[in-house]
Structure 1
């Protein structure tokens, strides 16, 4: 075997060993402990009232956040990719802010903005509107940490394909909706779906920001990640690992869906 072959297989072995120890083994451990005492107890743990409330709240937040992210993501990506204006580089740089700021700090920011001692908090309390320790606060925190994912997925595709077709359609008299539906959307649909998948996975798995603004109210403001933490701290290990396995399955499903979309995209490209 040539020296380059030894180097290649050595590097591959190091990579596989790293992924096995850091990623695969911990993931399998979650499923092992979730099912250690049998599938019946696993199902029973997921059917507990608090677990069901956490699952439903997580799904509800994702259903609220995703449409907003899709709309804002498409608008911002269109603006940044197709128009030149002062402050464009600054706006683009701001997209990285949610990745740079700690999720705990994000939650604290909203707590300071809408908490009872803040200016907005006093106004909200006067009008009997709850943001912190309620669904709106969880949605806001989740939006902050997830909205760049769709924008970041769309901008490279839109930059690469340009807007010459859109300009031609405008000259021919197409309205904005027809232009988007028949020209822009077919070009960006794969990137949009990819961004939606990532955004959904992050929304359902967010812990730090949601933990600060939720208040950990049992049966009301605990999402799946928060429920997992509480159950584990109270030595309800089966309940904790059962719900943790749901998040792990979501991660695996997301990974599989991403790879499937990549394969379909390559297949379509090769046909052309």
Structure 2
């Protein structure tokens, strides 16, 4: 690999760097640091109060459950859709690619309402049929998982697609010409080539799933101890003037999301970081 020559640092470059750092600091770092400060303002009292609240523990468990299943769904379908978009040509390919970005452009509240109209109880289009079969979607964990998976699906796909395009299909074609089957080619050739893109997409999907609010609030019904996730609990506790518990729960959500991204950034090989 040819060595890269560092570009000279000019006053304009320094000004842009300062502007970017200031922007990120005021928009991201400073507000989150205030949540951390508020959480530990009284020592560990806020965390003790949060972990001693049965509703908080249930909401955290529900959030982990929903996020885990949403990430599993997004991983399976994300990899499949990415391979379909990159390795195959078919009518409507451009439309499918555009629809994938729909969750990023539509308000989560609209997503929740759409799912409610499709699957909700007696008023939903498929609600009576599904409930007759013993399957409840709206106001149940399944509906929360669907809403969360819908919102975070593009994050996996948009990480994998550029890597598959850059790698190309030559190695996969060579493996098939040597007698390798589809599964064997995927496991030994395709998956290793996109592993870090997949990992990073999964981490982003997890972080997004942990913090989803709008769509989940509509489809879940926000019932404490039944369908309430951590983000919904934060709003409820804050409005009920239990700010300490709200700060502690927010801190835990942010901690998990940031920690996952930092770990991936540290473990990711340097050549993969510089690759895309």
TM-score normalized with structure 1 length: 0.92
In structure 1, the partner of 2:188 is 182
In structure 1, the partner of 2:76 is 71
Distance 2:212 2:263 in 1: 20
In structure 2, the partner of 1:88 is 93
Deviations 1:19-61 (A, max 9, x none): 2222111111101111112214422313311111011001111
Counterpart contact for 1:194–1:261, Cα < 8 Å: no
Say if 2:112 is the partner of 1:107: yes
In structure 2, the partner of 1:203 is 209
**Aligned partner (choices 57, 62, 65) of residue 67 of structure 2:** 62
Change (3 A) 1:40 1:163: same
Of 62-71 and 224-233, deviating more is: 62-71
Shift of 1:256: 1.2
Change (3 A) 1:259 1:268: closer
Change (3 A) 1:8 1:162: closer
Say if 2:126 is the partner of 1:120: yes
Counterpart contact for 1:58–1:204, Cα < 8 Å: yes
Distance 1:112 1:136 in 2: 15
In structure 2, the partner of 1:259 is 265
Distance 2:272 2:137 in 1: 46
Change (3 A) 1:94 1:6: same
**Aligned partner (choices 144, 147, 167) of residue 161 of structure 1:** 167
In structure 2, the partner of 1:246 is 252
Shift of 1:207: 0.7
Counterpart contact for 1:150–1:192, Cα < 8 Å: yes
Question: Which structure carries more helix by proportion?
Answer: 1
What is the alpha-carbon root mean square deviation over aligned residues? 1.9
TM-score normalized with structure 2 length: 0.90
Shift of 1:99: 0.6
What stretches of structure 1 move > 4 A for 4+ residues in a row? 267-270
Say if 2:233 is the partner of 1:230: no
Relative contact order, higher structure (CA 8 A, sep 6+): 1
Unaligned 5+ runs, structure 1: none
**Aligned partner (choices 195, 200, 212) of residue 194 of structure 1:** 200
Unaligned 5+ runs, structure 2: 1-8
Distance 2:116 2:39 in 1: 34
Shift of 1:268: 8.8
Distance 2:271 2:62 in 1: 37
Change (3 A) 1:5 1:175: closer
Shift of 1:259: 2.5
